[in-house]
Structure 1
Amino acid sequence: MLRTLVLRFYWDGEPEPSVEVPFGDFFAIGHDAAPHLVNSLPVVVGPYRACQSFWPMPFRKHFRITLQNEGPQDANIVAYKIIYKLHEVPEDAPYFHAQWRRSITRRDYPEHVILDGVQGRGLYVGTYLAWSAFSRGWWGEGEVKFYMDGDTEFPTIADNGTEDYFGGAWCFYKDGKGPEEVFNSLYCGLPLACYDDQQGPRRFSLYRWHLLDSIGFAQDLRVTVQALGWWPNRKYEPLTDDIASVAYWYQNEPHQPFPAFPSMSERWGR
């Protein structure tokens, strides 16, 4: 149900949204079939799906927030509260942006694009992934890469591995043994590791907020993550996985047009 609801934010009369994300993914609960809590600094999800966002979102004269239901069923209860303060905004204060993407990685191209096409000056401040792992082995060895300001083949930042970027180590295992152990913290977490259906994909939610270590760029930005892991035969392999992501960043307007927003059938969770 949460993937059928789409949040869009418009700042100061812009015709196209600066935020365009399915409701659940925006609040780091992208797996509809596996609701869970999130306890971090900018995003909190309490019982039952009480979704709260504390990202600063400056505007000068006007803002517009919409929630659109694109599904076949009514959203029976939607209650909301928006808190804002009227005061002077610094001339150079950038606007908040968020963008959703989803892909099925391939063994010959095991890369998911988290963000691309950003031009101008800004700060990258967060990543959320809703990861469905199809293999039975370890899935999170891929690097998160930040290509910025003219980078081509080699990124300015390449993290050591997926679990390292999201605040874990050694496969998120407890005492070095599986399965993955969930955790929440102010800036990073693995709030969901779901194995309910042993015949279907395993589901993971991961967030990393760059609140104290924002990633600045002056000209352009592209962010990717690889789907790499260990197969049960202990062989290191690229993976075919289902990855959905939200990128959060600040930049001045105007921003480059977002890709066409995926249809409901393209957003539906597994």
Structure 2
Amino acid sequence: MRLIFLCSLLCAATGLCAQKTVTAVDELKQFYNINELPAYRSNTYAAQVSTYDTTGGNNDGFGGQYSFIRRNADSSLVIFDVKGTGVVNRIWTPTPTTDTLDFYIDDAKQPTLSINYMDLFSGKVYPFVQPLCGNQVGGYYCYFPILFQKHCVIVSRGKKMMFHQIGYRLYNKGTIVEPFTTNIGDDVKNALNAISGLWNSNEVHKAKAIAASNAGTKITDTSFSIKPGDTRQVFALNTGGRITGIEISPSSSFASLYKNIIMRVFWDDEKLPAIDCPVADFFGFAFGKPSMQSLLAGSENNICYSFIPMPFDKKARIEFSYVNAKDSALASVGLHAKIYYTLQPRKADKEGKFYAYRNSEKTKDGQPHVFLNIQGKGHYIGTVLQAQGLHTGMTIFFEGDDSTVIDNTMRFHGTGSEDYFNGGWYALLNRWDSKMSLPLHGALDYSLAFARTGGYRFYFTDKMSFEKNIYHSIEHGGEHNAVPGLYTSVSYFYCDRPQQLSSSITNENTKVYIPDTINIYPQFSSVEIGSDMNIKTVWDNNDIGQSFDITAPDNGMLKVNLGDIPAGYYKLFISYAKQPGGCDFSIWQRQTQIAGWHSSSANDKQKVKDMFAGDIHITELNNAATIQFKTAGEANKFLWIKMMLVKK
């Protein structure tokens, strides 16, 4: 009896008797059991090792100086070395190689895993398979959990590493884990199949799957009409519960340059809304168009959807407001709202309430754009960002790094803005060059003409837990926050207390900015090429990307489509190079000549910047400009650098 009593005291003091071993399946379940998203991961340490330039410069991996912790005697590179009990939960790179990576887990003298770096992402080596591992929008990503009890070291057998980010979490002291092994059991395989089944579903199937996973799911359906100045309540509950899904249709109602319909969500007796955000921004529209189809939120099948679980204590209310715009004639809109919910109240000691913070601003010189800066206990689960430069040209504002201070300690420092969104290499073909949506991350847009882009990323096993505070921001420009822009971000997070955050919704920051000066670059232009034309892309103008080196026949034509340019009257300018063998050229709008004939011939190569060519009227049905060529013998070359349109 005395022995039993002493054992009971020991168990109570240490917590060892009832402690569950953390396994790979426990981590994997979080990718398909979305109900766990509000749960705290209390007293854990979320952090990242990356290749950022520690001097404050922009050499975040190009030269490789900051891409390893130390070089071993055999010239291999240690890129990760963390002690404690934890898990590697994210590996990202835009520059994988075929060199071997060795993972040393705990006290292993030999690598627990040796793998071709590329095969962390290729799908060729189990369990590093899609959709948890893969590559798109220029980045390679791996979310398969690699657990360790005491120590984890990752060594590259290559001679040089470039860009990477390795995220990890350290568990509470005393936690017992099942360390990573290459012997994959059926439970892991079943979990990976469950992830694939949910992630590859469309919006309708996701809604059914998530509703089915919540016992006692109820649904309210509300159709309503709303006009400027109106506020319409679509959901109210005066008891504890949790919202498990929100669907608003038709999503086409929000595809506009004006983001005037605002969604507000209130919890309990809190004075400020937990969500106070234009519908378009919350559901991942970018610059007036639907652009996100993530696992948690987006728009698909003409429906805006969110399956982010939102528990509350006593009451909840959802309403929509239609704010006036001073320079737009706005019409009444008919909408339908479907709210999924249960009567299971928040577990206050284990779960946070959901909040979303929108920050829309003209960036400040020398200061980063702040995603979130709050006090409290909780975790950060997602970012949606639209970014647009105020200067025409390359999107160099996206060179900026993200950084995160948690509980007064720098935990994360990134290597570039598209890197933060699991992408890489903006302005390169089939990399970060257009919108693309994946379950956890994606590119919202990419346009050199409008100098704008954007991305989103959601966090599951890698959610950034904080006990006291979090400061999460991103730079605009590679150094010193010196490239001006318009940034609009929505941050998604859970917290134990309401925050005094004002979204500052104004006429100015709910209208998509269209610049008066628009640059058309060969690199991403939509062109139609006439007969017998030969075009090579060349890096002849590094500040704005690639140019077209054209060899043309007599009367050859290159038609440049301007369908994305707003209708109106413009002055048209062209940049090109005079060079030996240059031909004559003119610019036409269909069969109407808008520029006289000019020679591009010269004894020595010289660039001609922004030469005025003529006036052009762009309409919905007449939206192209054609460069036409006159050649004679070897005088048949033309180097096109860009076109520029300035609104009259």
Please indicate, yes or no, whether the TM-score normalized by the shorter chain is above 0.5.
yes
| Matching residue's letter, 2:441 | C
Moved >4 Å (runs of 4+): none
Larger relative contact order (C-alpha < 8 A, sep ≥ 6)?
A: 1
Q: How far apart, in 1, do the equivalents of 2:385 and 2:280 lie?
A: 12
Match of 1:23 among 254, 258, 279: 279
Q: What pairs up with 1:128-167 in 2 under 5 angstroms?
A: 128-133=384-389, 134-139=391-396, 140-151=398-409, 155-167=410-422
Q: Once the two structures are superposed, what CA deviation does each residue of 1:44-102 show, in whole Å capped at 9, x if it has no partner?
A: 31244x21011010112210111111124244122111010122532322100001111
The reply to whether residue 242 of structure 1 matches residue 486 of structure 2 is yes
Q: 1:88 to 1:113 in 2, by over 3 A?
A: closer
Q: Which residue of 1 aligns with 2:298?
A: 44
Cα contact 2:265–2:276 (8 A) shared by 1: yes
Q: TM-score, normalised by structure 1?
A: 0.84
The reply to whether residue 71 of structure 1 matches residue 314 of structure 2 is no
Cα contact 1:37–1:46 (8 A) shared by 2: no
Q: Which residue of 2 aligns with 1:58?
A: 311
| Aligned-pair identity (%) | 25
Q: 1:19 to 1:170 in 2, by over 3 A?
A: same
SS in 2 for 1:77: strand
Q: How far apart, in 2, do the equivalents of 1:244 and 1:89 lie?
A: 30
Q: How far did residue 180 of structure 1 move?
A: 1.2
SS in 2 for 1:238: coil
Q: How far did residue 28 of structure 1 move?
A: 1.0
Q: How far apart, in 1, do the equivalents of 2:425 and 2:509 lie?
A: 33
Q: TM-score, normalised by structure 2?
A: 0.37
Q: How far apart, in 1, do the equivalents of 2:280 and 2:474 lie?
A: 21
| Structure 1, unpaired ranges of 5+ | 231-235
Q: Which residue of 2 aligns with 1:233?
A: none
Q: Which residue of 2 aligns with 1:100?
A: 358
| Structure 2, unpaired ranges of 5+ | 1-255, 514-648
Cα contact 2:369–2:476 (8 A) shared by 1: yes
| Matching residue's letter, 1:149 | D
Q: How far apart, in 2, do the equivalents of 1:237 and 1:59 lie?
A: 39
Cα contact 1:110–1:239 (8 A) shared by 2: no
| Aligned Cα root-mean-square deviation (Å) | 2.3
Q: How far apart, in 1, do the equivalents of 2:354 and 2:291 lie?
A: 24
Q: How far did residue 269 of structure 1 move?
A: 1.9
Q: 1:268 to 1:181 in 2, by over 3 A?
A: closer
Q: How far apart, in 1, do the equivalents of 2:452 and 2:324 lie?
A: 22
| Matching residue's letter, 1:54 | F
Q: Which residue of 2 aligns with 1:170?
A: 425
Match of 1:220 among 469, 475, 479: 469
The reply to whether residue 185 of structure 1 matches residue 441 of structure 2 is no
Q: How far did residue 18 of structure 1 move?
A: 1.3
Most deviating of 59-68 and 167-176: 167-176
Q: 1:47 to 1:136 in 2, by over 3 A?
A: farther
Q: Once the two structures are superposed, what CA deviation does each residue of 1:137-166 show, in whole Å capped at 9, x if it has no partner?
A: 143211111122124xxx321111111110
SS in 1 for 2:418: helix
Q: How far apart, in 2, do the equivalents of 1:141 and 1:163 lie?
A: 8
- Structure having the larger proportion of residues in helix: 2
Cα contact 1:5–1:71 (8 A) shared by 2: no
Q: 1:172 to 1:166 in 2, by over 3 A?
A: farther
Q: How far did residue 16 of structure 1 move?
A: 1.3
Cα contact 1:37–1:47 (8 A) shared by 2: no
Cα contact 2:395–2:451 (8 A) shared by 1: no
Q: Once the two structures are superposed, what CA deviation does each residue of 1:187-208 show, in whole Å capped at 9, x if it has no partner?
A: 110032245xx3xx33323101
Q: 1:223 to 1:135 in 2, by over 3 A?
A: farther
SS in 1 for 2:355: strand
The reply to whether residue 211 of structure 1 matches residue 484 of structure 2 is no
